[in-house]
Amino acid sequence: MQKNEESGLLLALAGFALLSCGDAIIKSMAGEISPLVVAALRFTIGAIGLSVILAIREGAQAFRPRRPWLQAARGMFLAAATICFFSALFVMPLAEATALIFVAPIITALLSGPVLGEKVPPATWIASVVAFGGVILILRPNLAELGIVAMLPLGSAVAFSMMMLANRAVAGDGSALSMQVFMALGAAPILIFCALLGGASGAPVLALSMPDWTVVARCAVVAVSASTAHWLVYLGTTRAGAATVAPMTYAQLLVAISLGWIMFGDAPDVITLIGSAIIIGAGLFLWNSGRRPQNPILD
């Protein structure tokens, strides 16, 4: 049992670390092409690849969602989260953009009340206030330098939280693979439309251009690495349990800080590190409060 748990933790750790590697590859394309084109390419490649695998493994019937509107909503939220995050990666240090995304679990917990009718415990409100302090610390210098653009990671966190709530609503509607496919198939057309719209806007940073092979290759690598990362996290969760694996997600931030420093020379300042630590602490507090046994006899 212990070996199973240890291997599960290592698998999840590898998965979360791999996600940050993909983010670093996305950031490496800043200035070469529109972030909307990158997002559209990444999810189009991912949707095609995952669809082929689903067709081989489960057949044509697996492509019939039970609740198509909810699946469409998942794709829409994923597209919004991706646009905001990829755009943030193009203009912000990797560590800071990633750190702000980690308020998503807390936003999800807060929204579970009004959206799903679940009771929001006091621990969630405490974690939210504490995390907000960390967000302010990270945002202040970026708002001064970048303006409203610095809010993009928070927009991504909100959209990601809505996607997580939609995921909860469709739980049990199909296999894990089919759920990934429905989400990718929902997001890809929206991202393609947004890329075309961005090109038509006339904004130089969103200009449409034919991507060279290196851009396509990097998008393909990110598509494969992201799917591999989700698979590793899934395997880790099945071996060690979701509650045990959850804290491993913060390895993603540590890897992001390291890669941002090594690849882009973005050495995090003390304020960013303190803000990140506060957000992580709030998330761990929320996670720990959710793990406490409800029956004191079992303590």
Radius of gyration from C-alpha coordinates of the chain: 19
Q: Are 133 and 281 in contact (CB under 8 A)?
A: no
Tokens of 75: 């794709």
Domain ranges of the chain: 2-292
Contacts of 240 (CB under 8 A, 6+ apart): 4, 5, 6, 7, 8, 9, 12
Name the H helices within 170-269: 176-201, 213-240, 242-245, 251-264
3-state secondary structure 185-201: HHHHHHHHHHHHHHHHH
- CA dist 232 and 21 (Å) reads 14
Render each residue's pLDDT in the chain as its tens digit; 299 residues: 566 777 888 888 899 899 999 999 999 999 999 999 999 999 999 999 999 999 999 999 999 998 999 999 999 999 999 999 999 999 999 988 988 888 887 888 788 777 767 777 788 788 888 888 888 888 877 776 778 888 899 999 999 889 888 888 887 888 889 999 999 999 999 999 999 999 999 999 999 988 999 999 999 999 999 989 988 888 887 787 766 777 778 888 889 989 999 999 988 888 888 988 998 888 888 777 765 544 433 33
